[in-house]
Amino acid sequence: MFGVLFTLDYEIHGNGEGAPGQLMVSPTDRMLEQFDNYGAKLTIMADVAEILKFKEHFETTGKDTFDYLKIEEQLKRAVATGHDVQLHIHSSYFKSRLVNGAWQQHWDEYSLADLPYSRVLEMIGTCKAYLESLLTRVDPNYRCHAFRAANWSMSPSENIVRALIEQHIKIDTSVFKYGKRNDRVKFDYTDSYSDLVPWPVDMEDVCKRDPDGALVEIPIYSELKNVWAFLTPNRVFRVFQASRHKHAKHRDLEDAPRMSGQKVSKLAGLVSFFKDKHARKLDFNQCTGTQLIKGLKRINREYGHLGKKLPVVSIGHSKLYTKINEKSLESFLDFIAAGGDKYSFAKFEDFDLKSLKQETIQ
């Protein structure tokens, strides 16, 4: 039995550009409406670092340029109607400055995992306290207990894992098996414990299982695919859109397969780019409905014998929820809604963490 989580990264563009009303509030409204029709549950991973800047701007200028009030209302409405809101942090917003209408990022603090322990602890504490103070107003039992790192980077692991535990965050959901980055953030998740089965985290390396670990990793499900499997209508549409935009190179194409950062000849790099397989996340904004359904069937073939209810984490971004995507998502929602005792819609709180920690892939 599998509980499918729809985790939605809720943010503007990674370089601080874009209107929150257009990239966060209005697509998420449409998505909540679509999900409500199916009894599906959305888990909004809210980038609180940027939301706090929008709030500060509203409070200091009296102008709600960044739709802070609508964001607040939307997060409250989500929790009040049975969806969930958990924590995502783009740390470079904390000291960002508003320049010509965009939030100029403080690049020195771009990689949260690389910051000193005390700074990581402070940021996580501030963001968690904000969510809990806002959302206990609509649900007194609300707790912020799950986290996703910006750019999926939990590496180096020690400071960030320690700080999450210290702030009573129980779940991390940043790792995707086979994922690799070697630019502003650096990680290699090739050898992470599992693509699906959660594990208690080793403080020194989020990829490793430590039976005594206090933080549970519930990974974003991903599979190894060649580049052609990434060509979906929604991705092609985004590349087309980005090519028409003057800041295309800074925009959010970070999840697409990429050439290696190592120094190799151009031709060798190109050959291996097409030959190699790349990590494709179970992304409900970018995969087609058919790809998503195939993904779930594969999970059932591989892990169905374990017999326990396991979380399947899919990922999306509010800013990528297009009309094309809205349509193609219907078949996936239908499939889960008709899933009987095999598949269901889920939130993180639906799982018993103690028992998930004991689950192993043997």
Give the nearest distance from C-beta 217 to Zn ion in angstroms: 18
Give the nearest distance from C-beta 24 to Zn ion in angstroms: 11
Query: Counting contacts by CB under 5 A, is residue 114 touching Zn ion?
Result: no
How many angstroms from the chain centroid is the CA of residue 140? 25
Query: Counting contacts by CB under 5 A, is residue 9 touching Zn ion?
Result: yes
Map the footprint of Zn ion across residues 132-151, applying CB under 5 A.
150
Q: For residue 181, give the nearest of 258, 75, 290 by alpha carbon.
A: 258
The residue (of 299 and 320) whose beta carbon lies closer to Zn ion is 320
Please provide the size of the chain in residues. Answer: 362
The residue (of 9 and 223) whose beta carbon lies closer to Zn ion is 9
Give the nearest distance from C-beta 295 to Zn ion in angstroms: 22
Query: What x-and-dash track marks residues 157-186 binding Zn ion by CB under 5 A?
Result: ------------------------------
Residue 63, both tokens: 């102008």
Residue 282's H or E segment, with its range, is: none
Q: Contact region for Zn ion (CB under 5 A) — 10-18, 93-101, 238-246, 340-348? A: 10-18
The residue (of 92 and 167) whose beta carbon lies closer to Zn ion is 92
The residue (of 11 and 67) whose beta carbon lies closer to Zn ion is 11
The residue (of 11 and 255) whose beta carbon lies closer to Zn ion is 11
Residue 300, both tokens: 């059932």
Q: Contact region for Zn ion (CB under 5 A) — 5-13, 71-79, 209-217, 318-326? A: 5-13
Q: What is the DSSP string of 169-233?
A: --EE----TT-EEESSSEEE-TT-S-SSS-EEEETTEEEEE-TT-SSEE-PBPEEEE-GGGG--H
Which residues contribute to the site for Zn ion (CB under 5 A)? 9, 11, 150
